[in-house]
Amino acid sequence: MTKTVNRSAARERARIAAGVVVAWVLILGVIVGFGELVVKYSHDKWLGDTAIPRWFAAHRTPTLNTWSNDVSVACATTGILIVAVAACVIFLAVTRHWRPVVFIAVVMFGELAAFLAAAAVVKRPRPYVHHLDHHLPTSAYPSGHVAATTCLYIAIAILVVGHTKGWWRWLFVALAVVMPVAIALSRMYRGEHHPTDVLGSLIFAALWLTATTWLIKPNAELPSRSPRAVGARLRSLAGRPVSGAPDRAAAR
């Protein structure tokens, strides 16, 4: 009986993995196709690809330069990695399930691989304005900062909303909106991306998050918990006594 269950679980994991790979390939094709279309036919005129970077460059100030740099650093590789690892540790500790960790890992590794592949194929030049960042290793399309930030913060919001019923879960939804908007404005302000570069990243994030959420079902093993239950679990992990918590040994 146990062997049958294990085989069934293994087949299910293999089916999910295969679905994720197929979805990634198809979505990459969409993103690369959109990028090639923009490069060949837009002539930097779609969605203000020339006008908007020039407008931002003409309205730079020391304060906005500092703000945009801080946002860019927070949403660069190191910042994204720190937040992703912290989220994985917290969800694993609170839920005691690996599915949320797998979900975040798949989303982020898939985003990174797709960004590098699309950038290598499309090879779009940066906007023709003064760049505040220098020696960037990749091309303009798509925006890795925007794609990574959008994928990470929306993935976290999906897990939080699916796991809790507290009012504070909407703070994570708000963060999932504010962070992508902030980094998109920051990267265009600094002269690193056209609006269609940002659009390509948002299209990828929307398709990739939809596919991975549908296939992996990150909240499938998560029982709905109240804010009190989640808070109690966090206090327990911190070594603090949990008032009103039942004695498990006595319950047995």
User: Rounded distance, CA 225 to CA 16, Å?
Assistant: 26
Residues of the chain with pLDDT under 50: 223-227, 229-231, 234, 237-238, 240-252
**b (16+ CB within 10 A) / e for 75-111:** bbeebbeebbeebbeebeebbebebbbbbbebbbebb
pLDDT digits (tens, 9 = 90+) for 15-39: 999 999 999 999 999 999 999 999 9
- Of 237, 245, 240, 242, the C-alpha closest to 90 is 237
- Residues 175, 152: contact at Cβ < 8 Å? no
- The pLDDT value recorded for residue 236 is 53
What is the identity of the amino acid at 53? P
- The pLDDT value recorded for residue 31 is 97
- Which are the contacts of 149, defined by CB distance < 8 A and separation ≥ 6? 75, 80, 179, 180, 183
pTM of the model: 0.84
- The pLDDT value recorded for residue 8 is 80
- The pLDDT value recorded for residue 110 is 97
User: Rounded distance, CA 112 to CA 76, Å?
Assistant: 12
The three-point CA angle 99-216-213 to 5° equals 110
- Of 17, 23, 73, 45, the C-alpha closest to 190 is 73
- The pLDDT value recorded for residue 107 is 98
- Tally of CB atoms within 10 A around 74: 18
Output phi, psi for 167, to 5 deg.
-60, -30
Residue 48 DSSP one-character state: G
pLDDT digits (tens, 9 = 90+) for 144-185: 999 999 999 999 999 999 888 888 899 999 999 999 999 999
User: Rounded distance, CA 206 to CA 184, Å?
Assistant: 15
- Residues 164, 222: contact at Cβ < 8 Å? no
